[in-house]
Amino acid sequence: MIRHHLNDALLMGYSAGQLPEAFNLIVATHISMCDECRARLESFDAVGGALLETAVTDTGEVAMAEDSLAQVMARIRQAPPEPRKVQRPEPCLFPAPLRKYVGGDAEAGRWRAVGGGVRQAILPTARDASARLLYIPAGMAVPDHGHRGTELTLVLQGAFSDAVDRFGPGDIEIATEDLEHTPVAEPGMDCICLAVTDAPLRFNGMVPRLLQPFLKI
């Protein structure tokens, strides 16, 4: 049962196509796990549809080139027929959009230790925001940190708790600038999260701060 969802601004930004790549990734991954947010997203898409229906430029209605339809029909006739795809999602830990970035499930991640038994794997995205997987052993904590921007954390396996609440599989925490938190993985199962931020994290301990440039977080 997912209790922590995406907010309207993220859903609308994703629907409108205005988010950085790393944010697109976490939104797409959460929606793969959460039909409630999928329905909300598709209702924002319906806003786009309504705007498309009335789309004109400042100078009025737009016309296509004269032979436009003929050109498109010619292209359609040349293209090979699309294979009919039957999608049965395989039972994987990571939803499809995330698997594409990792190259598989958790074992395919390029993990690096960041201290306290916590590991991370940075995912390749455009630089305007960053995405990484976090592996927090059961019962361990991610170093206390605040952020300059927005940090989103999506639980893929296990659960963590912080000052705000408990976050289980599929839950997403939306942490803004003013939240300083210490996520602690629940005992019993190691916790794997996808974390995305639009600004570098700020660690409060001296050592993590010195390491920050090297850890790329």
Partner 1 sequence: MLQLLDESPIKERQRPPLVPQGPRGAAQAEKVRDVSQAEEAQGEWVSQMLSVAQHGDEAAFAELFAHFAPRIKAFLLKSGAGGPMAEECAQDVMATVWHKARLFDPSRASVATWIFTIARNRRIDALRKARRPEPEDLPWGPEPEPDQADVLSLQQESEKLGEALALLPENQRALIEQAYFGDLSHGEIARITGLPLGTIKSRIRLALEKLRQAMT
Q: Which residues bind partner 1 (CB under 8 A)?
A: 7-10, 12-13, 15-21, 24-25, 28-29, 31-32, 35-36, 38-57, 61-65, 68-69, 71-73, 75-76, 79, 82, 84, 86-89, 95-98, 100-101, 125-126, 150, 198
Q: Taking the complex as a whole, how short is the minimal distance between the CB of residue 162 and partner 1, in angstroms?
A: 23
Q: Taking the complex as a whole, how short is the minimal distance between the CB of residue 108 and partner 1, in angstroms?
A: 16
Q: Taking the complex as a whole, how short is the minimal distance between the CB of residue 158 and partner 1, in angstroms?
A: 21
Asked if residue 143 lies in contact with residue 180, where contact means CB atoms within 8 angstroms, the answer is no
Of 109 and 143, the one with the shorter C-beta distance to partner 1 is: 109
Of 123 and 159, the one with the shorter C-beta distance to partner 1 is: 123
| Pairing state between β 118-123 and 130-136 | antiparallel
Quickly list DSSP for 81-147: PPP---------SS-HHHHHHHTSSGGGS--EEEETTEEEEEE---TTSEEEEEEE-TT-BPPPEEE
Of 84 and 213, the one with the shorter C-beta distance to partner 1 is: 84
Which strand (E) or helix (H) includes residue 21?
Answer: helix 21-33
